[in-house]
Amino acid sequence: MNTLLFFGIFAALAIFYTIIGLAASTQVNSTSDYFLAGRDLGLFPVTMTLIATQIGGGMLIGTSENAYLYGIYGLLYTIGMTVGFALLAAGFARRLQVINVSTTAEIFEKKYNSLFLKQIASFLSIITMSGLLVGQVVASRTIIDSLNLGMATEWIFLAFWLFIIIYTMAGGLKAVIITDVFQVLLIICIFVGVFLYSLLYGPPFAWSSIGEIQKEFFGTVPLSLNTLVATISMPALFSLIEQDLAQRFFAARSPRIAAMSALLSCVAIIFFALIPIYFGMQAKLLGIEIPIGTSPLIPIVEFLTNEFVVVLCLCAIIAAITSTADSMLCAVSSNVAQDFELKWIGMPDALYRSKVITLALGIIALIASYFVPQNVITILIDSYAISVSCLLVPLLVAYCSDRVSKSGAIASVLCGGIAFMLIPFWNTELPKVLLPVVISAIAYYFTAFTAGDSDLKKSATI
């Protein structure tokens, strides 16, 4: 690989992102500007930034790795995401925009009249989003390690993340959205181009015989039932309560823009996912040996194309990881800064405090990446499950009804959390991942029923 060319493009992108962050910071005068871009985003920027949140390490690195191991079943994670986006387009995105809050946790205070529930929900959201952020850090390490640059590898990895942290800290959501538009266009142009070139000039790949290929090389059902259900359901359900997605809908100019952007993103993501699926399966069919825990994406592109294209793909992958990572960092910072009273830390100015929080959280995520499992999809799915188990049911009730139960919500969060902690000790191949959600729903409605109409009426007045 042409290392000098890669470093040149990498450095240019890093400088470009930093300039955007600094330029965007001049237009940020309040926390609303910083976290919600003034609530004035149109269809194009909302759609592009939604796509950017999903075309990251999980999509490119994790999906190609799973396609190499499991064949067409590597598409399950993306199917889960698109199901979630379809539900958002069907009405949930519109409801999120109409509620007029800044974080999903704030819904608990507005609808259930409970500061305690709001802070518990925010804490769980922070844990989940931090896990997703760490997953992107791990994905970037996988790519940078594949360059085999020796001692320089670690310094490149650290420099890359410091640039992401700095421009996100400086410009907030405005900087994130501007870079997202650029990054999505870069990713799509490069990978669609390489995909089409590989189809036309590379070894044949029989899409019409995909079933036979799956059976011969990967097995009929290579995943356990529990893993299969978790990989589809967790991204789908989490998308309904995910802070970084909700943040985009909160920032949209109107409910119609929120709904349309979710629909357009859904279509774009499912079609784009065919690219890492193709490269992962093709690597297996061509007999390219891929070490366990690494992605086949770069080795197969290197096999099918040339050195220059490999450099472009590396830069596109880094752009994909960046586009998700800055969204996660901004979302986590939003939860911490807006859901908790932090004036005691000695920074009374809310905007300045928000920037310091973003910087600190970025550094913490970077450090945490050294101490977690290095499989990207595993990190993402485990992170989703925490919030889905506890928060999905009471949030869906709040989206869909004005008659809500505060005591039911408390019971739902508590029972869902207990079930989530106990489920790993249940040794079964049944789809146990959804059991905490079921228990959470039963706890909500049982408690709401026993509390009676007085609880419902009191909450409905909020």
Q: What 3-state class would DSSP assign to 41?
A: strand
Beta bridge partner(s), residue 252: 41
User: Where is the domain boundary, 343, 361, 377?
Assistant: 377
Q: With respect to residue 17, please indicate whether it lies within any of the assigned structural domains.
A: yes
Give the integer Cα–Cα distance in Å for 359 and 168: 8
Half-sphere exposure of 401 (CA within 13 A, CB side): 14
Q: With respect to residue 391, please indicate whether it lies within any of the assigned structural domains.
A: no
Give the integer Cα–Cα distance in Å for 300 and 191: 13
Q: How confident is the model over 398-435, as pLDDT tens digits?
A: 988 888 899 999 999 999 999 988 887 777 655 677 88
Q: Are residues 275 and 417 in the same domain?
A: no
Number of helices and strands in the chain (H, E): 22, 0
Q: Could you give the C-alpha distances from 101 to 107, 141, 192, 342, in angstroms and in order? A: 7, 35, 37, 19
Torsion of CA 260, 264, 265, 266, to 10 degrees: 100
Domain that holds residue 460: 401-462
- pLDDT of 459: 45
The pTM of the full predicted model, rounded to 2 decimals, is: 0.82
Give the integer Cα–Cα distance in Å for 166 and 268: 29
Give the integer Cα–Cα distance in Å for 136 and 296: 17
Half-sphere exposure of 398 (CA within 13 A, CB side): 31
**Which residue ranges in the chain fall short of pLDDT 50?**
344, 457-462
Sequence-ordered alpha helix ranges (H) in 202-306: 210-217, 225-238, 243-251, 255-272, 274-285, 297-304
Give the integer Cα–Cα distance in Å for 378 and 358: 25
CA-closest candidate to residue 191, choices 72, 274, 108: 274
Q: Are residues 314 and 452 in the same domain?
A: no
How many domains does the chain divide into? 2
Q: Are residues 308 and 428 in the same domain?
A: no
Q: With respect to residue 155, please indicate whether it lies within any of the assigned structural domains.
A: yes
- CB-CB neighbours of 414 under 10 Å: 15
Q: Are the CB atoms for 60 and 77 separated by under 8 Å?
A: no
- pLDDT of 460: 41
Q: Are residues 107 and 238 in the same domain?
A: yes
Q: Are residues 340 and 416 in the same domain?
A: no
Q: With respect to residue 358, please indicate whether it lies within any of the assigned structural domains.
A: yes
Q: With respect to residue 83, please indicate whether it lies within any of the assigned structural domains.
A: yes
Q: What 3-state class would DSSP assign to 252?
A: strand
Give the integer Cα–Cα distance in Å for 303 and 392: 44
CA-closest candidate to residue 257, choices 462, 39, 428: 39
Q: Are residues 187 and 273 in the same domain?
A: yes
Q: How confident is the model over 295-325, as pLDDT tens digits?
A: 788 889 989 988 888 888 888 888 888 878 8
Q: Are the CB atoms for 97 and 251 separated by under 8 Å?
A: no
What token pair was written down for 280? 């992962």
Give the integer Cα–Cα distance in Å for 261 and 241: 17
User: Where is the domain boundary, 377, 411, 431?
Assistant: 377
Q: Are residues 281 and 429 in the same domain?
A: no
- pLDDT of 161: 85
Say what angle helices 152-201 and 43-54 make with each other, to 10 degrees: 110
Q: Are residues 304 and 364 in the same domain?
A: yes
- pLDDT of 342: 62
CA 335 to chain centroid, in Å, comes to 15
Q: Domain with 23 in it: what CATH number? A: 1.20.1730.10
Q: Could you give the C-alpha distances from 228 to 77, 255, 432, in angstroms and in order? A: 9, 33, 11
Judging by beta carbons within 10 Å of its beta carbon (0-12, 13-18, 19+), is residue 446 exposed, middle or buried? middle
Q: With respect to residue 389, please indicate whether it lies within any of the assigned structural domains.
A: no
The residue behind tokens 């409905």 is: 460
Q: Are residues 334 and 408 in the same domain?
A: no
Q: Are the CB atoms for 397 and 444 separated by under 8 Å?
A: yes
Q: Are residues 271 and 230 in the same domain?
A: yes
Q: Are residues 347 and 245 in the same domain?
A: yes
Q: With respect to residue 382, please indicate whether it lies within any of the assigned structural domains.
A: no
Q: Are the CB atoms for 382 and 423 separated by under 8 Å?
A: no
Q: Are residues 360 and 214 in the same domain?
A: yes
Which strand (E) or helix (H) includes residue 357?
Answer: helix 350-368
Q: Which amino acid is at 65?
A: E
Q: With respect to residue 385, please indicate whether it lies within any of the assigned structural domains.
A: no
